[in-house]
Amino acid sequence: MALEVFCRYGFRKTAMKDIAEASGVSRAALYLHFDGKEALFRAGSQRAHALVLEHVDAALDADGPVIDRIDDAMNAFLQGLMAQISASPHGKELFESDLALSGEVTRAAREHLVQRISAALDDAAATGEIDLSSIGASSTEIAALALTTVEGIKTVHGGGQSLAAGSSLFMRILGAAVNRP
């Protein structure tokens, strides 16, 4: 509920009163749980990242080719975190607020994603599905590059179909580099 209010008014103009009214609780009750809108925003960011990481883990744990699973995980990570905020006229302010207030949450989530992709690549290499030696990079380096590339696509083209198409193209290129013939 709080995210909807932040998306409607932006971070700076949202008051605890607005969030309390939208949530159907008193302002006093809201202050029992949160010191202010900054703490509430951080808690929301933690919750959103945790939920998205569950989707990432599910995508990486699914059956299928590792490159397809990584593509699904990347899309779950980036689309899941940005869909509602990107649709808001206050999206840029909200993203900036998230970095300022919850930067450690975002960094930890990115690290989790890189570690999980790295492990998926290592597992696929161990079973002979892919050959990482063909490109001379570690699974962690590949995972970090994949995330950076897809985040770059998001920055240039935004979310939605453009992000999915760009991510898919990059994953096909990565697959061509590491898949066994």
The model's pLDDT over 59-76, given as tens digits with 9 standing for 90+, comes to 999 999 999 999 999 989
Rounded Cα distance, 149 and 27, in Å:
43
Helix axes 2-9, 16-23, angle to 10 degrees: 130
Closest CA to 106 of 75, 77, 84: 77
Say how many CA atoms lie within 13 Å of 98 toward its Cβ.
24
The H or E element that residue 131 is part of is none
Phi, psi of 130 (to 5 degrees): -130, 165
More confident residue, 8 or 83: 8
Residue 87 has a CB neighbour count (10 Å cut-off) of 11
| Residue 104 CB coordination number (10 Å) | 11
What pLDDT score was predicted for residue 88? Answer: 79
Q: What is the pLDDT of residue 146?
A: 95
Please, is 136 exposed, middle or buried when counting C-beta atoms within 10 Å of its C-beta (0-12, 13-18, 19+)?
Answer: exposed
Tokens of 19: 């969030």
The answer to whether residue 162 scores a pLDDT higher than 80 is: yes
176, with CB counted inside 10 A (0-12, 13-18, 19+), is exposed
Tokens coding 57? 């883990």
Q: Is the pLDDT of residue 85 over 90?
A: no
**Average pLDDT over every residue of 116-134:** 95
